[in-house]
């Protein structure tokens, strides 16, 4: 098959009352995409990954720790993480999150990457 399609990532199977559900949606030599569903109050403790990754929060509220910073998360929140950035997630409500890991990318030589600009929503 040349593609993978999901019509609604916010819809998922039942999760444990006090747990975290993870489901790999796609994986190949270049990337891996995983859907996470956190029960309210659940936490993914601080850890690092050897590759760049993005987090997209589909629904729910909580916090994400990115290096030394802690950010509030809500539906539509997005984060890009450089390799080896310590990060953690804590859900206040049920949180649905999409993780995309980019494989085969070397960390930057300087350890610092300039990342775009902040997007502003207009209503």
CATH of the domain at 47: 2.60.120.10
Any domain includes 31: yes
Any domain includes 114: no
Any domain includes 112: no
What secondary structure does DSSP assign to 25-42, as a single string?
EEE-SSEEEEEEEEPTT-
Any domain includes 15: no
In this prediction, residues 33-46 reach a mean pLDDT of: 95
Per-residue pLDDT band for 122 (boundaries 50, 70, 90) equals: low
Any domain includes 86: yes
Range of the domain at 96: 20-102
Round to whole Å and give the CA distance between 3 and 15: 27
| pLDDT tops 90 at residue 30 | yes
In this prediction, residues 21-47 reach a mean pLDDT of: 94
Round to whole Å and give the CA distance between 27 and 19: 23
Any domain includes 93: yes
Number of domains in the chain: 1
The alpha carbon dihedral of 65, 22, 56, 110 has a sign of positive
Round to whole Å and give the CA distance between 99 and 33: 6
Which tokens is 54 given?
A: 């993005």
Q: What is the pLDDT of residues 79-113, one digit of tens each?
A: 999 999 999 999 999 999 999 999 987 656 555 55
Any domain includes 63: yes
Q: What is the pLDDT of residue 63?
A: 98
Any domain includes 75: yes
């Amino acid at each position: 098959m040349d593609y993978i399609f999901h019509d609604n990532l916010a819809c998922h199977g039942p999760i444990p009352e006090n747990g975290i559900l993870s489901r790999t949606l796609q994986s190949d030599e270049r990337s891996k995409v995983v859907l996470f569903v956190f029960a309210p109050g659940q936490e993914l403790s601080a850890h690092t990954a050897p590759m760049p990754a993005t987090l997209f929060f589909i629904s729910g509220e909580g916090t994400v720790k990115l290096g030394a910073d802690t950010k509030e998360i809500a539906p539509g929140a997005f984060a890009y993480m450089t390799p080896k950035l310590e990060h953690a997630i804590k859900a206040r409500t049920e949180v649905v999150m999409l993780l995309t890991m980019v494989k085969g990318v070397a960390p930057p030589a300087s350890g610092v990457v300039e990342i775009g600009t902040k997007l502003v929503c207009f209503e």
